[in-house]
Structures are given as C-alpha cells and as structure tokens.
Amino acid sequence: MTKVFTKPDKPRLFFKHMMREMFKLGFTSIPIVAIISLFIGAVIALQMALNFDSPLLPKIYIGLATREVLLLEFSSTVIALILAGKVGSNIASEIGSMRITEQIDAMEIMGLNSANYLILPKVVALVIFNPFLTALSSILGIIGGGLLVDITQVIRIVDYINGIQFVFNEFYVFYGIIKMAVFSIIITTIPAFYGYYASGGSLGVGQSSTRSIVASSVFILVFDLILTQLLLQ
Amino acid sequence: MIEVKDIYKSFAGKEVLKNVSAVFEQGKTNLIIGQSGSGKTVLLKCIVGLHEVDSGEIWFNNNILFNKLSFKEKKEMRKQIGMLFQGSALFDFANVEDNVRFPLEMFSDMSREEQDERINFCLKRVNIINANKLFPSELSGGMQKRVAIARAIAFSPKYLFCDEPNSGLDPRTSILIDNLIKEITEEYKITTIINTHDMNSVMEIGDKVVFIHEGEKWWEGSKDNILHADNKELNDFVFASKMAKTLKGYVEKSS
Ligand SMILES: Nc1ncnc2c1ncn2[C@@H]1O[C@H](COP(=O)(O)OP(=O)(O)O)[C@@H](O)[C@H]1O
Ligand SMILES: [Mg+2]
C-alpha cells in the first residue's frame, strides 16, 4: 500500500497517464451514469407522487424528496456501487492479467515501482473525475423526475419545480461529492490490490475481479454509514 | 560474474530451493537446466530479487551482495540487469518501439531522438525491422521473444537473465533465439543466465551448465562433458527422448 502512494518516478509521465485513465475509466462512464440517473430520477419522482398521496402533504414535498434522495444517497452511493462493477472489473482484470503474464515482474526488474506506476494514476484520476459524475447524476435525476411529471401529470410541474428549490441545503451537494471522492478511492484501490496479487492463471484473474467487486461494494456501504455519521450528525 | 551461495527458498513451508550454490561466468551463456517444476524459475527470480531468499547470498561481480542491498541501491543496480521472461511479458498497452522505449523513458534523460536511435539499434540487433508500430498481439512468438530481448538490452546490461527463452517456439526458431542470446552475450561481455529444459539449447550454447533436480544442484559442467556425466538423474534428463537414446546407442556402439 505504501508503495502505491509515493511520488511517481516521472511526474510528467504520471500526468499523462492520469489523463488517459481519466478518459478510460471516468469519461466512458458518462453514458451509463446518465441513463441510470434519468430513469431512477423518474422512478423516484413517481414513487414519491404515488406514496405521498395525502391531502395533508403539500405537493411540493414530492420534488423536495426526489431531490434529497438523489443528492444524499443515489448520486453518490448507488452510482459508486455501479461504478464498482464497471470500473472495478476493468482495473482488477487489467492489473491481474499483467501480473500473471509477468508484465509486472518486467517492470520491477527495470527498477520501476510498478504498484505506484499502475495504480496511482487510476486513483487520482477517479478521485478527481467521479465527483463530476455525482453532480451530473443529480442534475439528470432531477430532470428525469421533471420529465416524468411533465409527461404523466401526476402532479403539476410547477409544484415539482418549487419542491426542487424548496429549502435547499448546499451542504448536501458537498456531502455527496465528499462521499464520492472517498468511494472512488475504494473502487480503484481494492480491485487494483486484488489484481496486483492475482495468481493462478486466467481463472485466478476472473476470481480476483469478482472478489474485488464484492469487497469494494461492502466497503462502500460501510463507509457510507461512517461518513453519514461523521458529516451529517 | 554472479555467484550464489546456499540459496534456500520455501513457499509456505514447501521447500523449493535447498541450499543451491553455483558460479555463473561473464561473457558466457550459463544454463540452468532441469525438469519442469524443479525450481529453475524460482532460482532465477531469487537471483534478480523478484523473490526474497530465505537464506543464502547472491554476489554480483564478487563485491556486491545483491540480496542485502537497500531498495534504493537495488534500483540503481537494475539498470545493469535485463531479463527475458518465459512468456515474453511485453507490455500489451504499448507497440514494439514503445516497449523498447519504456525503460529508456522511465530511467534515462535521453531526448526523444536519442531514444529512437537506441530503439532502432536494439531492434535491428535482434533483426526486427519494419515492425515498430505493431502491437505484441500482432507478433509471432519468435518475434515477441526478439522484441523482449531488444527491451532487455536497451540499457546495455551487464547481466542478462532468460527464463525458458525458447519455450513455445519451433526448433529452428529456438536455435536462432539461442544463438542470438549467445552472440549478444559474447559481444557485450554480459553475464548471462538461461533457464531451459531443452537439450538442443544445452548442446548449442551450454558454455556452462548447472543441473537442478527437485530444488537441489546435482551436477555442474558444460556441454562438452554432459553426455558422459556419471549421474543417474542427469542421464535420465539428458537421454529422456527416444531420439537421444537412439543417438546414445550409436555413440556407444561406435566407441
Ligand atoms: N509463488 C509461488 N508460490 C508457491 N509455490 C511456488 C511459487 N512459485 C513456484 N512455486 C513452486 O516451486 C516449484 C518450482 O517451480 P518453478 O521454479 O516454476 O519450476 P521450473 O523449474 O519449471 O521453472 C513448483 O513446485 C512450484 O509449484
Ligand atoms: Mg519455469
């Protein structure tokens, strides 16, 4: 672990690799995050509308609740769980196959700190990039809810929009982004670790990939609890 | 020159190397031979420091106790070490020239032009021409081995380690690769250690041969005396194939 978080051998190359990883692991996640967020935003709005069906509750609570669910949990935790699958399997299998084909040994023999070279650019790239995905997800989720309201007319769109704007707490945005930054460390380091110590041929690489996704998902949930306790109490 | 003294290595209680000692000479192709699973790869990886030995000493050039160097000192030494891995271990993410460029880019201050010059020199030395932009997956096994040799000699190493350089190659390509390694070894006065289980290689380039059996050194000599060695395990290894047995019959009849 300490081998990963040291100064890179060549900072200029590090930056180049980080940009490449940002594109490969971050940028390419935009479509899946966008689709899921639009749909789940719509579903949350619909659920809220159907379940808050009491004359005592003002309709603006539907927009408000949709917003809070997205900001507090969905756009950080659920998106992180999805990325743990997508990004995690990619990282674990890439590094794992480099391990079993001795490409990592080949780096070590040159005197390169292979853990640092292979892993750190990925961690830094996603810690920087994924918070943007969280922001994107919240915005698209709210739009998805809005589209649903507009199409189905379950409530008036003005009520939804007013709800979205009602008692807005900026800290929740910050909270979601902090969580995602921490989750990004989890979904890069854990699969990288499993891949780095993979053994037993291509079967072993597959196993390390599966295990790493399970492990990072559990870690995400545990850290969700811890961070919520720390940041929101 | 490299000397190993009493190398002992076990994995989770399983003994793999039992007090192996040997000397490997400069400017010569030193072979470590033995059956699959006898511990050749582990021995080679212990010598280069990819595995930590449990006990024993690894001397480079009589004066450097390699296995006791600090991380930083080892890193300095690495420039003098080239290694050819069993499966070539070329980087999938880089094309031929960038594979050879990799060590130069990471560990030298060469300009791009100087790198290109060195890359083309190394590739030419191993007879890879007009393939600079191909990726490892587009190369044949023999070409992959050549590119891996080019990468291993990028820094003009003093020590070259080859793990089964001709595994997976046809007999003719094997001999070409063997001879290429021998030529480079003699040309640049490198101390070269080669793992192999291939008797063709032994007879072709076995300047010095160390026979490992079940993690122990059983015999040491050269290609000139290996056929007449008085060692049952070695004889079983040397004359394992029907062809070898037949030839041995001829030799014995005619003498
Ligand atoms: N990393 C490892 N962990 C545990 N056992 C290993 C490891 N590497 C090699 N071995 C064992 O050491 C023995 C020798 O292996 P190896 O050196 O690869 O043989 P070969 O002579 O074919 O190169 C084998 O029995 C192998 O199972
Ligand atoms: Mg081997």
What pLDDT is stored for residue B125 in this prediction?
A: 92
Round to whole Å and give the CA distance between A207 and A93.
Answer: 9
What pLDDT is stored for residue B165 in this prediction?
A: 94
Start-to-end Cα distance in chain B? 37
Contact between residue B240 and residue B255 where contact means Cβ atoms under 8 Å apart: no
Q: Under DSSP, is residue B213 helix (H, G, I), strand (E, B) or coil?
A: strand
Asked if A13's CB is within 8 angstroms of B50's CB, the reply is no
pLDDT tier at B239 (50, 70, 90 boundaries)?
A: confident
3-state secondary structure B39-80: CHHHHHHHHHCCCCCCEEEEEECCCEEHHHCCHHHHHHHHCC
pLDDT exceeds 80 at position B253: no
pLDDT exceeds 90 at position B231: no
Task: Dump pLDDT digits (tens) for B158-200.
Answer: 999 999 998 888 988 899 999 999 999 999 999 999 999 999 9
Q: Which residues are within 8 A (CB) of A126 and not within 5 positions of it... i.e. 6 or more apart?
A: A21, A22, A25, A26, A87, A184, A187, A188
The predicted model gives B61-78 an average pLDDT of 89
The predicted model gives B221-227 an average pLDDT of 90
Taking Cα atoms as reference points, which of A107, A96, A130 lies closest to residue A13? A107
Taking Cα atoms as reference points, which of B99, B98, B80 lies closest to residue B156? B80
What pLDDT is stored for residue A27 in this prediction?
A: 96
Amino acid at the residue B24: F
Q: Under DSSP, is residue B7 helix (H, G, I), strand (E, B) or coil?
A: strand
Query: Which two tokens mark A39?
Result: 């749909």
User: If you take atom 14 of ligand 1, which residue's CA is the nearest one?
Assistant: B39
Helix ranges restricted to H, chain B: 40-48, 71-78, 96-107, 112-125, 141-152, 171-187, 199-205, 232-238, 242-254
Amino acid at the residue A33: V
What pLDDT is stored for residue B249 in this prediction?
A: 79
| Average pLDDT for chain B | 93
Residue B208: its H or E element: strand B208-213
Round to whole Å and give the CA distance between B158 and A115.
Answer: 26
What pLDDT is stored for residue B168 in this prediction?
A: 84
Cα A225–A228–A229 angle (5° rounding)?
A: 85
Put simply, whether B249 touches A (Cβ < 8 Å) is: no
Residue B39 Cβ inside 6 Å of ligand 1? The answer reads yes
The predicted model gives B246-255 an average pLDDT of 76
Residue B48 CB neighbours (<10 A): 23
Q: Under DSSP, is residue B160 helix (H, G, I), strand (E, B) or coil?
A: strand
pLDDT exceeds 70 at position B255: no
Residue B11 Cβ inside 6 Å of ligand 1? The answer reads yes
What pLDDT is stored for residue A9 in this prediction?
A: 81
Task: Dump pLDDT digits (tens) for A86-110.
Answer: 999 999 999 999 999 999 999 999 9
- DSSP symbol at B135: -
What pLDDT is stored for residue B236 in this prediction?
A: 86
Q: What are phi and psi of B210, to 5 degrees?
A: -120, 125
The predicted model gives B26-32 an average pLDDT of 96
Residue B215 Cβ inside 6 Å of ligand 1? The answer reads no
For residue A76, report the distance from its CA to the centre of ligand 2, in Å: 47
Q: Enumerate domains of chain B plus CATH numbers.
A: 2-88+158-254 (3.40.50.300)
ipTM, interface predicted TM-score of the complex: 0.91
Residues of A with Cβ-Cβ distance to B102 under 8 angstroms: 110
How distant, in Å, are the alpha carbons of A45, A54, A139, A149, A208 from that of A163? 11, 16, 14, 12, 45
Nearest to B48 among A9, A103, A109 (CB): A109
In DSSP notation, B14-28 reads: EEEEEEEEEEE-TTS
The predicted model gives B103-112 an average pLDDT of 93
A–B interface: beta-carbon pairs under 8 A: 50
Task: Dump pLDDT digits (tens) for B133-158.
Answer: 999 999 999 999 999 999 999 999 99
Query: Which two tokens mark A104?
Result: 């990592």
Contact between residue B57 and residue B65 where contact means Cβ atoms under 8 Å apart: yes
pLDDT exceeds 80 at position B101: yes
What pLDDT is stored for residue B247 in this prediction?
A: 78
Q: Within its chain, how far is the Cα of B201 from the centroid? A: 12
Residue B196 Cβ inside 6 Å of ligand 1? The answer reads no
Residue B136 Cβ inside 6 Å of ligand 1? The answer reads no
Q: How long is chain A? A: 233
Q: Mutation test of ligand 1: which of B9, B10, B11, B216 has the most ligand atoms closer than 8 Å to its C-beta?
A: B11
What pLDDT is stored for residue A2 in this prediction?
A: 79
- Return per-residue pLDDT of chain A as tens, 233 residues: 678 888 888 888 999 999 999 999 999 999 999 999 999 999 999 999 988 878 888 888 999 999 999 999 999 999 999 999 999 999 999 999 999 999 999 999 999 999 999 999 999 999 999 999 999 999 999 999 999 999 998 889 999 999 999 988 889 999 999 999 999 999 999 999 999 999 999 999 999 999 999 999 999 999 999 999 998 87
What pLDDT is stored for residue A28 in this prediction?
A: 96
Residues of A with Cβ-Cβ distance to B106 under 8 angstroms: 9-10, 13, 110, 112
How distant, in Å, are the alpha carbons of A17, A18, B196 from that of A12? 9, 10, 40
Put simply, whether A112 touches B (Cβ < 8 Å) is: yes
Q: What ligand 1 atom has the least distance to the C-alpha of B39?
A: 17
Q: What ligand 1 atom has the least distance to the C-alpha of B36?
A: 22
Give the gap in angstroms from C-alpha B96 to the nearest C-alpha of chain A: 14
Put simply, whether B92 touches A (Cβ < 8 Å) is: yes
